[in-house]
Amino acid sequence: HSALTQPASVSGSPGQSINISCTGTSSDVGGYNYVSWFQQYPDKAPKLLIFDVSNRPSGISSRFSGSKSGNTASLTISGLQAEDEADYYCRSYTSSSTGVFGTGTKVTVL
Amino acid sequence: QVQLVQSGAEVKGPGASVKVSCEASGYIFTTHGISWVRQAPGQGLEWVAWISPYSGNTNYAQRLQDRVSVTTDMSTSTVYMELRSLRPDDTAVYYCARDWVAVSKGTMDVWGEGTTITVSS
């Protein structure tokens, strides 16, 4: 399973909403509702933002939301804040019972 | 509190093996799986392997499955990841993360601090 495809970078002004796409195939993203999203700051461990396509763990801001259509999942960050500047990765379960991450997206707050 | 504590950094030569530990505490060990994820310098995340302490089932990334194995020590709630025949491109930070118990669903809600493995001659 090849890495899921994400845009290399996305930017937005404070208060705006941005979307990050994550495109896979019917053998991963499209085949299962097991898509997760992670936020990572430099030299830090990733942090779970979304699991099972659209569920937020306790303590995660409602500004983060997830969805899926076909083979593409999306993360939306609404009310963009300076602290949202980080790298974001999607991740999916696959038909081989393995996991695959996306290529990663760097979010810049202008 | 729930935490995963990993072993310290290692430097290995090409062809050697390395075994990284991940000790779980603060929850019932058999209720969650453990995934391993690595990140090469300046690169993205790569899923490596998963184990269920409940069933003993394992899954490995296809491109690493001939060189990697994960095991558990139930007496100490510790998961081990061994990587053999090390190559320079195995140089990375290796993370363990708590995952779902039945399959590697990706609900990785607790992460270890990471273990840096450097492969160099």
Q: Is there a contact between A99 and B113 if contact means CB atoms under 8 Å apart?
A: no
pLDDT digits (tens, 9 = 90+) for A16-62: 999 999 999 999 999 999 999 999 999 999 999 999 999 999 999 99
Contact A38 B109 (CB under 8 A): no
Please tell me which residue of chain A has the smallest CA distance to B61.
A98
DSSP state of A29: G
**B109 band by pLDDT with thresholds 50, 70 and 90:** very high
Residues 6+ positions from A29 with CB-CB distance below 8 Å: A4, A22, A23, A35, A68, A71, A72, A73, A90, A92
pLDDT digits (tens, 9 = 90+) for B8-42: 999 999 999 999 999 999 999 999 999 999 999 99
Is the Cβ pair A97, B113 closer than 8 Å? no
Distance CA B6, CA A60 (A): 25
At A44 the pLDDT is 97
Tell me which chain B residue has its CA closest to the CA of residue A44: B113
Taking only the tens place, the pLDDT of each residue in B36-88 is 999 999 999 999 999 999 999 999 999 999 999 999 999 999 999 999 999 99
The answer to whether A97 contacts chain B (CB < 8 Å) is yes
Q: Do A46 and B44 touch (CB under 8 A)?
A: no
